Amino acid sequence: MEFARLCDYADNIEQTNPGSICLVKTDRNLEPGKNLFKYFYVCFDALKKGWLEGCRKIIGFDGCFLKGACKVDLELGDGAGLTIMSDMQKASFEVKLKEELAALGKLGKGICESLLKYNKEYWCRAFFLEHSKCDIVENNMCETFNSWILAPRHKSIITMLEDIRHKVVRRHVDMIQFAETWITDISHMARVILEENKELSRKCKVLSFGTDRFEVDEYEYRYIVNLRKRTCTCRSWQLRGIPCAHAICEIYHQEEEP
């Protein structure tokens, strides 16, 4: 029985990964005379250090929640500055919010009322805070992770944990090798978005100019760009940390390179 060996497995992880924390929780009260498995928790020291030193404070969930040791190990405190992606999803920009809600309302009674019970800051991009540089409005990444580990989940407990650990380690090695192919400090993904925005900026026009605030037109819409503060009223620059097409239009107008 692999469950009987879980504590040995946890000890082994802690010995071979100094600084890591591994907990096996059992419960003697669920069934008289039995000590039943409740949960297994592991926080690898290397992943914890990576999170604390280099990650944006964004955590995604799918069918689970944060409690206890995890909050302490990741130094989450009261959650200030943290962005949570959950399975509550789908949002839009403010100008389209009413349209989207009207369309949603046609799908069935009470849908809009149920959605609006939650603060808009939690599910609508137009109201997202800007510190995390995350404009993701769904948790597809977490759903993808769950399907990524689907095969191991059908195996016995230690084999499953080892399979998941191997997959995570392999992914980290792949990401390190990928990062070594970068030719600048800008990540590949950010560069792709920047190039797309450069292309879109051709359709924009700078209307007026001052010392740091500029009006930029994109078709019938008008945006205010502030290069010094790195903001645009479309909010894409603030949310993603990558200059939007309007900002790029103005950067080119100043004869600089985005």
Contacts to Zn ion by CB under 5 A: 223, 232, 234, 244, 246
Instruction: Work out how close the CB of 253 gets to Zn ion at its nearest, in angstroms, rounded to a whole number.
Output: 14
Nearer to Zn ion, 57 or 125 (CB): 125
Nearer to Zn ion, 128 or 223 (CB): 223
Residue 62 DSSP SS3: coil
Strand order through the sheet with 231-232: 204-209, 213-218, 221-226, 231-232
56, 175, 241, 246 from 194: Cα distances, Å: 20, 21, 10, 12
Instruction: Work out how close the CB of 216 gets to Zn ion at its nearest, in angstroms, rounded to a whole number.
Output: 7
Give 76-118 as a DSSP string. Answer: -TT-TT-EEE-S------HHHHHHHHHHHHTT-TTHHHHHHTS
Instruction: Work out how close the CB of 244 gets to Zn ion at its nearest, in angstroms, rounded to a whole number.
Output: 3
Q: 20, 27, 29: which is closest to 3 by C-alpha?
A: 27
Nearer to Zn ion, 133 or 167 (CB): 133
Nearer to Zn ion, 91 or 227 (CB): 227
Instruction: Work out how close the CB of 56 gets to Zn ion at its nearest, in angstroms, rounded to a whole number.
Output: 21
Instruction: Work out how close the CB of 200 gets to Zn ion at its nearest, in angstroms, rounded to a whole number.
Output: 10
Which DSSP category does 137 fall into?
-
Nearer to Zn ion, 142 or 232 (CB): 232
